[in-house]
Structure 1
Amino acid sequence: MFERIVLHLRLLWALLFLLSVSLAAETHPLCPQSCRCDAELLEVNCSLSQLSTVPSDLSRDAIILNLTHNKIKTLLHQQFQSLRQLLHLDLNDNLLEVVELDAFLGLESLQFLDISSNDILVFLDFTFQDLPALQHLNAADNQLVFVSRHAFTGLNSLQELHLDACNLTAVPTESFSQLTTLRSLHFHCLSLTSLPNYAFHYLVQLKELIISHCPWLDALSGNSLLSLNLTSLTITHGNLSVMPYLPLHHLVYLVSLDLSFNPITSIQGNLLGDLLRLQELHLVGGSLLRIETRAFRGLVNFRLLNVSRNRLTTLESGAFQSLTPLKTLILDNNPLACDCRLLWMVQRRVYLDFGRNLPMCSSSLHLEDWSFLEFSDTELSGLLTCQQPQILNCKPQRVKVNQGQTVVFDCIAEGDPTPSLSWFNPQLRPVSSTGRIWVLTNGSLEVRYAQPQDSGTYYCLASNAAGNDSLKVSLQVRPFLTSRKSTFHLGGWIPSSSPDVNGNHELTFDFKTLLIAASIGFLSFFSSVSVCFIFMFLWSKSKGHIKHTATIKYVPHSTVSTSARGNGNYMETSRFTMKLL
């Protein structure tokens, strides 16, 4: 009896042990041998495990799966079908070359997918169609050469996409047509030379566009950013030599613009005013030589300007719409000339943040390697000074030339800072640097092939921050002299001559010209008649029957007659009439 009781107890303990093992297995899911699992976080970490395939014995309850730094080459058909709770899948730094169709089947809840730093060449149609909840896709640092038109079909919730360090030579515009919810797009290290028109016009919800490290990107087409309502635009480490004013002008919601590390040389005036909400401009490490007056006119919310590591010698307060909103000005590592043009910075140094490195004087010998912000107000009044321009050849110049000659007027000025020279024509309009009347690079005015209408008084204006000086010169152009002029007013045909003061076009010929023209016309007419006579003579000889008598009638003057139909008079010109008898 006792033995029977002992046997029953042993059987009971065995059943309890099996039950406890079963409950433990349900409470603590199996973890692949080469992985580390966290039951509380529901995370499976298989990083750095030398895996060549995705483990098959993964817990169905996992929400995080880390497969980084392995040797996985292929994602097989329905590879993750059992992981329906998975939210985060990281396959960074593997050897992925192929992603089979339906590889992500079953991952309806997945929100984050990282397949960066792999060897994927092509995204085929419907590669990501089974990821309706995906919000973040990182496909950076692959060897992508082609993205199929329907590759992103099914990504109905995608917010952020990284396509960095690829071999794409064109923007996959048609592929983007599926990403109507995308808000952030990153391009990095692409082989782009330009952005074509309407490159992103399907991305109507896009707010952030980042394009960086594209060394051959030297142009943005005028409508390349059309249809976008960006708040942040970054185009850095490219080859842009001018500010892309035209592609930017419609971005009225833009808050931050970063064009750093491009060889841009200037920011011109009055061309950024359409960016009404712009608050920040970063242009670090460029080739900026000047920021013109009114460069930021219209930017009433402008708070931060970062132009460090450029070639600026000054930055005048006139570049800004208002100094009140400006909070941060980073200007270090520029060859600044410390003169009166920088006084406004000293006056506002209490309100401005100049960053970690203060701007230094580099092109002023007496202040070299000094920060002008460290001087007291009394010291600065004698240090940051300017000298008003003075034109050296200040005597008025009067020049008379014949029509067709070229004349040059010099305008030489000195001052500190170096004055800028401008010329104005007799109508007080600025003279450009192109055309027949133009300003040379040394500041002189050249009038090429002078015409009578060029006569008048021209003005040279030398100006800098301290004031201006002016010089006026007079030009008189003598027209060509002709004798016994005959003027012909051309009614129907307008010649390429210059109009007179009344707007009429005239051509003038002398008597000798008329005589030569008449002689040439007569000789041409006589030659034609002679040829006709010779032809008719030869023709009659060839027929064998000679017409012995010829009557020639010549009407030397124009005659006026009435038409048989009574439609009025008509003019009959001189003619020959010949009749053979």
Structure 2
Amino acid sequence: MISIYNFVQISYENFTDERTILCPSNCSCLGNNIDCSELKLDSNQIKLVDSLTFSDMENLRVLKLRRNLISNLHDGCFWGLDSLISLDLSFNLISSVNDKWLFRLGTLQQLSLASNRINSIGNNAWQFTPNITELNLKGNYLKSVTESDFKRLSLLKKLHLQHNNIDYVAETTFQQLKILRILDLSYNDLQWSTEGTNSYFDGLTSLSRLNLGQNKIKHLSRRLLRDLINLRYLDVSGSSLVTLEPKCFGNLNRLENIIIDSTNLLCDCKLNWLQQQQPQQPQQQQASCGYPDKLKGRYLMGLSDQDLLCLKFQKPSIIQPPQPTAALLHGNATISCLVNSSVQSPVYISWKKNNKVVGGGRCGACCHAFIHSFIHSFIHSGMYQCVARNILGSTTSSKAHVTVNELPTFIKTPEQMITAQIGSTIRIECYAVGSPQPILALKKDGGDVFPAANERRLLIYPQDERFFIVKVSTADRGVYTCMASNEVGVATINTTLVVLEPPTFTRQIPSHLQVVIGEPAKLQCPCNGYPRPKVEWFKGEEKLMVSVASGSSRYRFQDGNQVFIINQTTPDDQGGNNNTIYDVNYIKQHGNNNNKLGNNNNNSNNSSTTTTAGVIIIAVVCCVVITSLAWVCIIY
């Protein structure tokens, strides 16, 4: 064995520097390598253990680092100890257990972490140490233990949890420890954890020693101990037991030693069964009566059947248990429990959430107990029950589920206005959170039925937090409402869909218009589009700027400039009028179909009909002359 003192920090160099360590007796050394089966580094000033510190000690079987100042264990600090069986880290400053510093300790069987500052155990802390058979966590700061704290320790035989601050034990904590033989939970704050349940020690058929002493347990039930068929030693001393359920030791056929030193036992006919169970050890005789008054102070084992009478004293009864409640996040919640007691002594109420005490107080013989809380997060959700106790025992109510709900709140919202072209695809982003998870729906102009839905052009992808409308048409134009709803409320948000439509002429425009001079003339340019097209009128290259409100003007516009009216025509109005249609995205000119104004003067040489006739006559004359010349040439 190597014993080294006055270390502050240990690392790989500490065991490879010849100036640091000489080859100890009973060890073999080769160069810088030291081969020993046991290494003792107790009572130094070591504060941290570096990674790969022991990487060249593959034959080390026992490592002791007790009574140091170790608070920091680097990842892989014990890597390379392929033969390590026992590791003692007791009396240090370690605060947590995790798989990083336990890496590659697959041969480890005994681990002592007693008298540290451990307050948490990682979910996968033991994944690299499945062969541990003895685990000592005595004297730490654990407040609760759950199933995950001992996951993968199926070979565990001894578990020491005494002298912690444990006030909560999950019902399935020990169920996977099938071959556990010794379990010590003494000197903790277990209060009502053994009441109203039947599964704390289920499956521990190999357990031979159970220590529950120095806790605050008031009641032992038969179902609590029903699977401990090989139990030989049971200690519930220092717990001020009041009641023992009849036959609570009924399955403990191998029980040899029971330590009960309570001075508060309720000694009535329900304890007759205990008179018949005579363990081999006399410690059971330390238990004495607290009630009724005439038996107070007398040892239980000194009483006869005539002393243990059936009394009318009763433990509290719960008249009205808590009821299931739905609370709103960021609101208030109140749970009540109506309790009655036949004994004129105070009743103490404890409230438990998921089997863990969360509050309580004192009330009279008949009281209405409340627990009131501001719901600031979802951690308030769970199973609640009340426990009522007096000097004669306790009663646990049924469990009531408290659900925390949250109003729907949008975390993704659509734009206030969405602009789309005809035939395109638009996306409406819409996603909300709440509890329960809100259901999303889309409405148009307040209705559930609209063209995109009827024509199956509305695609819903809740996982993508959006809606799609494909092949957009003018019928899709409107206000869409995204609605998120759950059991507690509804949230809505609106978006307006604008479908752009290019300007088009609705009918053919006449190319010629004849009016009498002095009479009004009306020119039309009927068109559609969205937004509504802007129509402008030109005469030649001159833009006609006419005010609608001008009563003295010869011109006026109607129907959004689609109608151009000349109040009184003059010869100057003759000619072609061009019109141009505008909208936001489109410009369409109607310049080929010009509206031309003329008059009824028969001497007008500008008539297109006269011009056409003249051209035809000239063409005919030319053809006759050419034909005559051709015949003259042929004859002569």
Normalised TM-score (structure 2)? 0.47
Structure-1 separation of matches of 2:369 and 2:484? 32
Structure-1 separation of matches of 2:210 and 2:315? 37
Match of residue 219 from structure 1: 144
One-letter amino acid of the counterpart of residue 224, structure 1: D
Match of residue 236 from structure 2: 307
Match of residue 342 from structure 1: 271
Residues 394-405 of structure 1 mapped to structure 2, 5 A cutoff:
none
Q: Any idea what the Cα deviations from partners look like across 1:322-346, whole Å, max 9, x if unmatched?
A: 1423322111145222222322221
Match of residue 85 from structure 1: 26
Match of residue 92 from structure 1: none
Residues 138-157 of structure 1 mapped to structure 2, 5 A cutoff:
138-157=64-83
Higher helix share: 1
Q: Does 1:232 find its partner at 2:158?
A: yes
- Is the contact made by 1:81 and 1:107 (CA closer than 8 Å) also made in structure 2? no
Q: Does 1:545 find its partner at 2:473?
A: no
Secondary structure (helix, strand or coil) at the match of 1:275 reads coil
Match of residue 168 from structure 1: 94
Measured after TM superposition, the shift of residue 160 of structure 1 is 1.3
Match of residue 264 from structure 1: 190
Structure-1 separation of matches of 2:272 and 2:346? 17
Unaligned runs of 5+ in 1: 1-63, 88-101, 395-407, 422-439, 447-463, 467-490, 498-535, 537-541, 551-581
Structure-1 separation of matches of 2:31 and 2:164? 36
Structure-1 separation of matches of 2:44 and 2:485? 71
Residues 9-408 of structure 1 mapped to structure 2, 5 A cutoff:
77-78=17-18, 79-80=20-21, 82-83=23-24, 85-86=26-27, 105-108=32-35, 110-214=36-140, 216-229=141-154, 230-266=156-192, 267-268=194-195, 269-271=197-199, 272-320=201-249, 322-349=251-278, 351-355=279-283, 358-375=286-303, 379-387=304-312
One-letter amino acid of the counterpart of residue 347, structure 1: Q
Measured after TM superposition, the shift of residue 549 of structure 1 is 8.7
Secondary structure (helix, strand or coil) at the match of 1:270 reads coil
- Is the contact made by 1:82 and 1:106 (CA closer than 8 Å) also made in structure 2? no
Q: Any idea what the Cα deviations from partners look like across 1:66-109, whole Å, max 9, x if unmatched?
A: x68x768796723555446339xxxxxxxxxxxxxx9995442x
Q: 1:73 to 1:121 in 2, by over 3 A?
A: closer
- Is the contact made by 1:331 and 1:354 (CA closer than 8 Å) also made in structure 2? no
Structure-1 separation of matches of 2:117 and 2:243? 36
- Is the contact made by 2:272 and 2:308 (CA closer than 8 Å) also made in structure 1? no
- Is the contact made by 2:210 and 2:235 (CA closer than 8 Å) also made in structure 1? yes
Structure-2 separation of matches of 1:147 and 1:496? 49
Count of residue pairs brought into register by the alignment: 357
Secondary structure (helix, strand or coil) at the match of 1:209 reads strand
Secondary structure (helix, strand or coil) at the match of 1:329 reads strand
Q: 1:205 to 1:362 in 2, by over 3 A?
A: same
Higher strand share: 2
- Is the contact made by 1:200 and 1:227 (CA closer than 8 Å) also made in structure 2? yes
Structure-1 separation of matches of 2:237 and 2:263? 7
Secondary structure (helix, strand or coil) at the match of 1:201 reads coil
Secondary structure (helix, strand or coil) at the match of 1:236 reads coil
- Is the contact made by 1:140 and 1:164 (CA closer than 8 Å) also made in structure 2? yes
- Is the contact made by 2:219 and 2:242 (CA closer than 8 Å) also made in structure 1? yes
Measured after TM superposition, the shift of residue 163 of structure 1 is 0.9
Unaligned runs of 5+ in 2: 320-335, 350-363, 371-390, 394-447, 450-482, 488-531, 533-544, 550-555, 560-636
Secondary structure (helix, strand or coil) at the match of 1:224 reads helix
One-letter amino acid of the counterpart of residue 26, structure 2: Q
- Is the contact made by 2:242 and 2:392 (CA closer than 8 Å) also made in structure 1? no
Q: CA RMSD in A?
A: 4.8
Structure-1 separation of matches of 2:248 and 2:56? 53
Runs of 4+ residues deviating >4 angstroms: 70-76, 102-106, 388-392, 408-413, 415-421, 440-446, 491-497, 546-550
Higher relative contact order (CA 8 A, sep 6+): 2
- Is the contact made by 2:316 and 2:347 (CA closer than 8 Å) also made in structure 1? no
Q: 1:279 to 1:386 in 2, by over 3 A?
A: farther
Structure-1 separation of matches of 2:68 and 2:290? 45
One-letter amino acid of the counterpart of residue 548, structure 2: H
One-letter amino acid of the counterpart of residue 289, structure 1: K
Structure-1 separation of matches of 2:311 and 2:264? 17
Residues 476-515 of structure 1 mapped to structure 2, 5 A cutoff:
none
One-letter amino acid of the counterpart of residue 234, structure 2: L
Measured after TM superposition, the shift of residue 147 of structure 1 is 1.6
One-letter amino acid of the counterpart of residue 86, structure 1: C
- Is the contact made by 2:546 and 2:557 (CA closer than 8 Å) also made in structure 1? no
